[in-house]
Structures are given as structure tokens and as C-alpha cells.
Structure 1
Amino acid sequence: MLRVDVSKRLGEFTVDAAFASEGRVTGLFGASGAGKTSLVNMIAGLLRPDRGVISIDGETLDDTSTRTRVAVYRRRIGYVFQDARLFPHLDIRKNLDYGRRMNRLTEDAALWRRVTELLDIGDLLDRRPGKLSGGERQRVALGRALLSQPRLLLMDEPLGSLDEERKEEILPYLIRLRDEAGSPMVYVSHDPAEMRKLASQVAIIQRGRVTAFGGAEVLPAAPTPA
């Protein structure tokens, strides 16, 4: 279970949000500027809450009342950003292996094979990021996060920088991750169609607050076909 109950003042804007989710994919849905990324950054440990608690499966990552704070590198959380953030000077094989090496994990050939097959990136290993399409770069970013063996995978608008064709290319891989990968996920988006396809539970974020939490029924109604 992921439990978040935090408050954070950011200039004139305040995030004051709480939810608890047991879903395979927890969606954070809202307009740009609603506070979704700030919430994800607090879960990742990149942003410290002013007040509150964050825990995963009963382990406390942040608790301001007891001054508990687990360092970012000890949280075992994978983070996939809107832009893939691959290292341009490294080939794809070394980009994929970066998370494992940074976390000082032993090599796992079976996991490597499963992830590269799951994301269909085995034929990209000797190429550089600059030679890949946007969709391919995002698949590599997903693979890098999974190979770090996270207990939670955060995805902040991973389709946001892609055109519609590339989005349609990536969505099946995200669905496969949901169904086949072992790590639960937090998925951030302002697109209700993405949420309906991916999320098992959804938190609606408005002006830094959770205004609704539940299944797909809390999302805005799908437009009626003309």
C-alpha cells in the first residue's frame, strides 16, 4: 500500500493532499499546475514535505512528526520523467545498466532478458539515444527504471512530450508493464483516456488537493462520439 498525507507550501501555492492506494497503478489526474508533479517528487524524496507522512507497504519514508526521512537513494523508487533523460554519451546498454550500477545491485541476466523483451528494446542496445525515436527513448527510460529493481515506479507524464502516433506506440508497453512487471506504479497524467486504460485507482488533484479518489468513475466523462 502507498500512503500519502502531506502538506507543502511552494511560494503562493500549497499542496495539501492525502490518499492511500492498494492499486497496481495509482493514477494522479489533474490539469497542469494542479500539484501532481510536486506530489510525485515528495514520494521520490526529491521534495521534502512541510508536514505529513509517506509510507510504502508499512515502511515510513517521511514522517515529519518523528523527523523520519529516508534518503532518495535508499527508497528503491524508479522515476520516469516526461523527457527520457538518457545519457547521450552512453549507448543504450550502458544507459539501461546505470540504475543497477548506481544501486550496487548484482547483475541479473534473467531480469535483463525479461525487461528487454517486455519493452522490445533488445535490438537498440548498441545505439546512442540521439539515434532513437521519442517512443524508443521512453521505452529505454522505462527499462532503466525497472532494472534498478524498484519497489515503486513513478511515471510523470511519460507520454506528454510524444505525438499521437508515438503515444499509441507506447501505451501497449505501459499496459504490459502494469500486467506483467512486479512493481506497483504511480502514473501522472492530465489525459482521462490514458487513465482509463492504465489506472486501477485514481486520485483527482485540483489546486494541490485530492478532491476525489476511486476507480475510473471519478474521471471526467468520456466525450460522446459525434
Structure 2
Amino acid sequence: MSLSVEIAHRFPGLTLELGFDAPEGVTALIGRSGAGKTTVANVVAGLMRPDRARVRLGDVTLADTTAGLWLSPQVRRIGYVFQEARLFPHLSVRQNLLYGARRRSRLAEAEGELPGVTELLGIGGLLTRRPGALSGGERQRVAIGRALLSGPRMLLLDEPLAALDPARKAEILPFLERLRDHAGLPILYVSHAMEEVARLATTVVALDAGRVVAQGPASAVLSDPAAVPALDPGAAGAVIEAVVEAQDSDGLTRVAAAGGTLYLPQIAAEPGARLRLRIEAQDVMISRDRPEGLSALNLIAARIISIHPGHGPGALVRLKAGEAVILSRITQRSVAALGLAEGQGVHAVIKSLAMASDNVGTARVMAGQGDGR
């Protein structure tokens, strides 16, 4: 089931005019604050009626303002999860989970689905607790479970981890990966946190000042310089897939990627597990020749695809390593000093310890594959 969105609306100081298609999987809406991400989410959910909109989910038209069609939020059947869990403090976790199902008169179905949802989200042991006794990550997992049990056609997660500290984010991200792979629902995920997007998204739509500046598969958009205006330039980076080869005795994990062998700080994964790695552009250096006498372990032979000077002293260099695209953010002075040019063969130098654990996730499990664990 895919989502198709067209929206036009005028705010003071901002005109929103955009359209995109979101196929199955997790579609991440990214962009700086004020780009229009939450407005899009609210229009899709039916919480805001813009000047003009057309929204289709599969074969169901949720909104077509030119035809006078505007389905209410209740009829749209979209499970909306906000930054705050918004649980009822006087109800138990079990009662909170079933609340949306009760309102939609599907309590019997939800009770049958409850064991599967609690196992998926790791909250089976919390059912008798009240929200006040839960951590922030646990509360968000309960909020997601409540949305799943309401019988939605799709899920909409608006900055679901923004209110959590790094430890709680690390706690919940693996459950969101499981949700992506096993929920069987399209998910629209609003975020400005690239570590979340890189780990979860199958499709990315980048917004800047109310316009779509890039859209497509996550690996393509996150390595596209056209998407950088939607981000903090320091957050630019590419996403590649890799397979765990071995856990070495010195505490490093050896993985095979399209560009060659990479060494990461130890990852809790068995050999054969499929990973998604986010390599930040600012952590990639470029050498014209294969360097010798360096402490860096990750030396990848690559070819320059393109060079994009920034508005300041920096430049973004796109590199092709095997089938993978890697970004490097260096100074324009370095580009000139090295004589870099499109088509040139170079080596990308990446520090092993630069790839922190929050930039490493599981690759999406496709139908017919194992779970990679």
C-alpha cells in the first residue's frame, strides 16, 4: 500500500507547495525546523485542512479538496504517535494499549492481537504497570502499540524520539527496526535526526522551505547533495549496507561492504547479519594515493562522482566505492591542493571509531529472508 500526497498552503512567511509518493516501508520526512514536516503529517492525519490537498492511501482517497472530499481523522484510520506518548496516567499499560481499539469498536480483535504486538515491542512484562512507572522509551513503545492495536491503515510517527535522551533512543531504535520489518504497514516517519532516518527509512523525502528538494530510496537521497539544504551541513552522510564477517579478538567487528572490508567498534551481531551503516561526510578523508603509515584501518578505493562547493569554505565530494556511494566533506582548499576532479580514482579514509553505535542498525528484512539476527 502506498501513500500519495499533494499539498498547497500559504502561511505568513512560508508557502507550502509539495507532492510526493511514499511506497511501502518507512518513508522519512526530513528537513530543518519550519520546513513543513509536521504540517504535512497533520494534513495526512486529517488534523489540519490546508488551502488545497489531495491525499490517497492505497485505493482510498482520504482528501481531495477540489472535489470537496475531506475524511475525518477517525475515518482515515491512521495510527498517530506524537513526540510525547500521551498515555492516560490512571490506566494500566494494558488498558492504554486497548484504548484506541475500544473507541473503534474492535476490542475483541485487539485482544487477540495483543500478545503479538507486546512481543514485537518488548512490552509484555509491563501490562500491569501505570505510565508513571515506565521509562520514556517504554512509554513510547506503549504509544506505538496502542496505535497498532487501533486497526490502522498506516502509522504516522512525528518526532517520536525527540523527547528522549540518548540512552532511551538507543533502547527504542531496535524495536522501531522490528516494527519496520514486521508490522506490515506503511509508516510515515517525521524527523530531523539523521541517525534515526539512516537506520529506519526505506524512502526519504527531503523538505526545504515548504518544497520537496529530493525524494527516493534512502541510500540515494542521503548521499544526494541536493538534500543537504534540508539538513544541517554537518549532518550530511551516506548509508550503505554491509554483512558481518567476524568478531575480532581486539574488540572490532569486521564487515563486508560494497566498497571493501570495514572495521567498526564491536557490534552485537552474529556473522552473516546484515547491517545498515551511516558514514558521516565529516568523518571521511580523501587521499589521491593509497596512504601508508596511517592509524586509520578503513581505506576504501573509490572514484569521484562529483564535487559540490558549499557557500562557505567546505565542499561535498561524492565517491563511488563498488556499488556504494560515500560522501566526504572537506575544504575547497583541499580540493584544489589535491587537484581533485570528477572521474578521478582516490582512496577514502574512515576512522573505525568514528562510526558510533547509533549509526549502525539492521538492514531491512525483505519477504522470504531471515531476520538477520
Give the TM-score category using the shorter length: over 0.9
Instruction: Please name the residue that 1:53 is paired with.
Output: 54
CA RMSD, Structure 1 to Structure 2 (Å): 1.2
- Higher relative contact order, chain-length normalized (CA < 8 Å, sep 6+): 1
TM-score for both structures, normalised by structure 1: 0.96
Instruction: Please name the residue that 1:155 is paired with.
Output: 157
- The question of whether the paired residues in 1 share the 8 Å contact of 2:24 and 2:185 is answered with no
Q: Partners of 1:106 and 1:90 in 2: how far apart?
A: 16
- The question of whether the paired residues in 1 share the 8 Å contact of 2:16 and 2:209 is answered with yes
Give the 3-state SS of the residue equivalent to 1:65 in structure 2.
Answer: helix
Instruction: Please name the residue that 2:368 is paired with.
Output: none
Q: Are positions 1:165 and 2:167 aligned together? A: yes
Instruction: Please name the residue that 1:17 is paired with.
Output: 18
- Residue ranges of structure 2 left out of the alignment (5+ in a row): 223-235, 238-279, 284-350, 355-373
Identity %: 52
Residue number among 180, 183, 191 corresponding to 2:185 in the alignment: 183
User: How far is the alpha carbon of 1:96 from its aligned partner?
Assistant: 0.6
User: How far is the alpha carbon of 1:116 from its aligned partner?
Assistant: 0.7
Instruction: Please name the residue that 1:206 is paired with.
Output: 208
Residue number among 99, 118, 121 corresponding to 2:120 in the alignment: 118
User: How far is the alpha carbon of 1:4 from its aligned partner?
Assistant: 0.3
Instruction: Please name the residue that 1:142 is paired with.
Output: 144
Counterpart residue identity of residue 111, structure 1:
E
- Residue ranges of structure 1 left out of the alignment (5+ in a row): none
Q: Partners of 1:66 and 1:188 in 2: how far apart?
A: 28
Structural mapping, 1:60-75, within 5 Å: 60-75=61-76
Q: Partners of 2:22 and 2:136 in 1: how far apart?
A: 31
Q: Partners of 2:132 and 2:33 in 1: how far apart?
A: 28
CA deviation map 1:141-160 (0-9, x unaligned): 01000000111100001111
Higher share in strand: 2
Q: Partners of 2:94 and 2:76 in 1: how far apart?
A: 24
Q: Partners of 1:128 and 1:33 in 2: how far apart?
A: 35
Give the 3-state SS of the residue equivalent to 2:67 in structure 1.
Answer: coil
Structural mapping, 1:28-107, within 5 Å: 28-107=29-108
Structure exhibiting the larger radius of gyration computed from Cα positions:
2
User: How far is the alpha carbon of 1:179 from its aligned partner?
Assistant: 0.4
TM-score for both structures, normalised by structure 2: 0.59
